[in-house]
């Protein structure tokens, strides 16, 4: 068999393992890309076997595939919270399970769906596992068309080589939301969480393909079989209810170091401040 055929077989194995997480009555996020397509196929088989669930697709292409396969679809207007999303990734970082996604062009909708999900299951073949994000893949950044040149310059000021994504015919690639994508090569990324925040602060950026702390679990298929990796931190998405995978965390008082001038702790009182003209003690903390 060819390398492509071998990789497709591995992707299918990972997809079939992840689909086993789906149970009756779930709302399932449907990912985009060649690996996620195998998950949609496997879900269609389970649906024909009697499993009841509804899907929310992350792209028009996935929505069309799901409809053709007979998978019932729903929307956020009807179901604002997703139980489980199954999607692929372009890179998975060992240890952290942080991701680069978006080479399929659906990163914005993929991140919206991931953020609304109680759990995000990622399916990849072994070639996608890296020691540092950015080792093989660029970071896709979705941007609006207006001022694209300025946005590109600011992304390059962060240390990237940014290239406008083109179609096979040489035209700019257009996302389902009508935006463009800049593929930003940063090389190996030492602090992906910090980079995600810096990219997000650039005016004109819609979203980046850095998915930090969202994957849990990751199914990796290689020549020795399918391996499951669980995140040590859990998924940063929709809040989990007591009826799903975890109970909601108990509320805690704010940390004294998290803000100024309000929290005195349980063992002492905050002294009231009587305003006086030009009193340094009463000056606002932000001055």
CATH code of 213's domain: 3.40.50.1360
Annotated catalytic residue, options 16, 91, 93, 110? 110
Structure token pair of residue 269? 């009182």
Structural domain span for residue 143 = 3-229
CB 93 within 8 A of CB 132: yes
Number of Cβ atoms within 10 Å of the Cβ of 286 = 5
pLDDT per residue as tens digits for the range 113-141 = 999 999 999 999 999 999 999 999 999 99
Domain assignment present for residue 70? The answer is yes
Domain assignment present for residue 54? The answer is yes
CA angle 69, 70, 74 (to 5 degrees): 115
Domain assignment present for residue 200? The answer is yes
Domain assignment present for residue 169? The answer is yes
With 0-12 / 13-18 / 19 or more C-beta atoms within 10 angstroms meaning exposed / middle / buried, residue 171 is exposed
Known catalytic membership, residue 110? yes
Domain assignment present for residue 130? The answer is yes
Domain assignment present for residue 186? The answer is yes
What is the model's pLDDT at position 179? 98
Structure token pair of residue 91? 């890179």
Which parts of the chain register pLDDT below 50? 240-275, 278-287
Domain assignment present for residue 97? The answer is yes
Domain assignment present for residue 141? The answer is yes
What is the model's pLDDT at position 232? 78
What is the model's pLDDT at position 236? 66
What is the model's pLDDT at position 253? 41
What is the model's pLDDT at position 256? 40
CB 120 within 8 A of CB 214: yes
Q: Return the closest-CA partner of residue 53 out of 21, 89, 5.
A: 21
Alpha helices per DSSP H over the chain: 3-19, 34-48, 60-68, 107-115, 148-157, 192-200
With 0-12 / 13-18 / 19 or more C-beta atoms within 10 angstroms meaning exposed / middle / buried, residue 8 is middle
What is the model's pLDDT at position 166? 98
Query: How many domains does the structure of the chain reveal?
Result: 1
What is the model's pLDDT at position 245? 33
């Amino acid at each position: 068999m060819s390398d492509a055929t071998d990789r497709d077989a591995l992707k299918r194995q990972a997809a079939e393992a992840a689909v086993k997480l789906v149970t009756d009555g779930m709302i399932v996020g449907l990912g985009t890309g060649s690996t996620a397509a195998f998950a949609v196929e496997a879900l269609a088989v389970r649906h024909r076997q009697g499993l009841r669930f509804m899907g929310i697709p992350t792209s028009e292409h996935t929505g069309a595939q799901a409809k053709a396969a007979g998978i019932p679809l729903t929307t956020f207007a009807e179901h604002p919270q997703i139980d489980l999303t199954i999607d692929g990734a372009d890179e998975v970082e060992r240890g952290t399970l942080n991701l680069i996604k978006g080479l399929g062009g659906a990163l914005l909708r993929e991140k919206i769906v991931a953020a609304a999900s109680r759990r995000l299951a990622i399916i990849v073949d072994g070639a996608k596992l890296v020691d540092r994000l950015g080792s093989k893949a660029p970071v896709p950044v979705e941007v609006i068309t207006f001022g694209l040149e300025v946005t590109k310059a600011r992304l390059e000021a962060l240390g990237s080589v940014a290239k406008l994504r083109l179609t096979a015919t040489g035209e700019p690639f257009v996302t389902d939301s009508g935006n463009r994508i800049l593929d930003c090569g940063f090389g190996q990324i030492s602090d992906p969480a910090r980079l995600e925040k810096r990219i997000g602060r650039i005016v004109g950026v819609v979203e980046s393909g850095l998915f930090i702390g969202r994957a849990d679990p990751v199914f990796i298929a290689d020549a020795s079989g399918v391996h499951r990796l669980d995140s040590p931190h859990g998924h940063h998405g929709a809040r989990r209810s007591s009826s799903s995978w975890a109970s909601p965390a108990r509320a805690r008082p704010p940390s004294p170091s998290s803000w100024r001038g309000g929290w005195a702790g349980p063992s002492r009182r905050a002294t009231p401040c009587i305003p006086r003209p030009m009193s340094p003690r009463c000056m606002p903390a932000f001055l």
